[in-house]
Chain A
Amino acid sequence: MGKETYFEDVYVGFEIPQFVVGPLTKEQIKNYAEAAGDPNPIHVDEDFAKMSGYRTVIAHGLMTMAYVSRMLTKWLPNYTQLRRLKTRFTKVAYPGDILTCKGKVTQKYVKEDGNYVELEVWSENQDGETVAKGSATVVLPSRHEK
């Protein structure tokens, strides 16, 4: 979890610290499949994945989403400050891929129940191709509330 970040510290265009993961391994993908209860053989069975048109097994879209979430919860002092996360799975991630998760503030506003910050979030592979992209909503404390 990150150091305290205040609402006043961020602005539209503010970039949060990147989070790098990988190279992904088949073992990790298998562990994810087991932990998440996903029986789809495309993530664990090499032959099945090839028959489906991929060069090898593929990572779960939800696994790439988990890394985007980790970037956010690593930045935020408390994981409960993450209120919403949406990601579109734009490209397949393979074993061997190194993913860099990034986030940028697009909007900030105050509502009765908190100070909200909207971010654009995405994850790129080592070739700069986007594998997941979407948006997140977080709440940040105000310096004036101290």
Chain B
Amino acid sequence: MILALDKRFIGQTFPSTTFAVDKEMIKRYCKAVEEFDPAFKEGEVSPPTFASCFLIPSMMGAMSELSNLIDPSLIARIVHGEQEYEFCRPIKPGMYTLEGRIADITEKMARSGMLDIIILETTAKNEKGEISIIGRATILVRRP
């Protein structure tokens, strides 16, 4: 039997990583979500949810860290249940530092069974060290 996620991991931080944003990346994202607003056309600034482009790699990184913390058999039972962004400054081409931490771990009884709920918080800072985006991903782990 696999036990619930250990609440000791609340507050655990992950090694910070960097993420380079360039104009082409922004243009590719706009094309993918068919965002044709002229403000984003040249890729000099990005639409708010472009944040997902660095959230996903950051979540992957956190997941591989988590795999050291939780039973590997649970990794396949993970669902991205919810996402929140606080948009503090627009993301423009440049270098960003991503800092990830486990903001919370709770559990909940759902229709499908017991769920462990992990809140992964990622803060993206620009080259000046100013917070650009705070992302909170709610990760659901279905208990076997």
Q: Which residues of A contact B (CB under 8 A)?
A: 1, 21, 28, 31-32, 34-39, 61-63, 65-67, 69-70, 73-74, 79-80, 82-89, 134
> A36-B53, A66-B35, A73-B48 are known contacts; what are 19 more A-B pairs with Cβ within 8 Å?
A28-B32, A31-B28, A31-B31, A31-B32, A32-B32, A35-B31, A36-B52, A62-B49, A65-B49, A65-B52, A74-B37, A79-B48, A80-B87, A85-B49, A85-B87, A86-B85, A87-B82, A87-B83, A89-B81
A85 touches B33 (CB 8 A): no
Question: How near does chain A come to B48, taking the closest CB pair, in angstroms?
Answer: 5
In whole angstroms, how far apart are the Cα atoms of A69 and B34 in the complex? 12
Among the listed A21, A34, A70, which residue makes an inter-chain contact with B28, where contact means beta carbons less than 8 Å apart?
A34
Measured CB to CB, the nearest residue on chain B to A83 is B87
Task: Please report the total number of B residues contacting A with Cβ < 8 Å.
Answer: 30
Measured CB to CB, the nearest residue on chain A to B35 is A70
Residues of A within 8 A of B87 (CB): 80, 82-85
A73 touches B83 (CB 8 A): no
Determine if B47 is an interface residue (Cβ-Cβ < 8 Å). Answer: yes
Residues of A within 8 A of B82 (CB): 86-89, 134
> Knowing A69-B48, A79-B47, A80-B90 touch, does A32 contact B84 (C-beta < 8 A)?
no
Among the listed A35, A63, A85, which residue makes an inter-chain contact with B48, where contact means beta carbons less than 8 Å apart?
A85
A79 touches B56 (CB 8 A): no
In whole angstroms, how far apart are the Cα atoms of A84 and B51 in the complex? 12
Question: How near does chain A come to B40, taking the closest CB pair, in angstroms?
Answer: 8
Residues of B within 8 A of A69 (CB): 47-49
B33 touches A73 (CB 8 A): no
Among the listed B25, B37, B56, B60, which residue makes an inter-chain contact with A1, where contact means beta carbons less than 8 Å apart?
B37
> Knowing A69-B47, A79-B39, A82-B48 touch, does A37 contact B56 (C-beta < 8 A)?
yes
Measured CB to CB, the nearest residue on chain A to B27 is A35
A66 touches B33 (CB 8 A): yes
In whole angstroms, how far apart are the Cα atoms of A85 and B33 in the complex? 17
A85 touches B81 (CB 8 A): no
> Knowing A37-B56, A65-B52, A73-B47 touch, does A88 contact B81 (C-beta < 8 A)?
yes
Residues of A within 8 A of B31 (CB): 31, 35
In whole angstroms, how far apart are the Cα atoms of A21 and B87 in the complex? 24
In whole angstroms, how far apart are the Cα atoms of A21 and B34 in the complex? 9
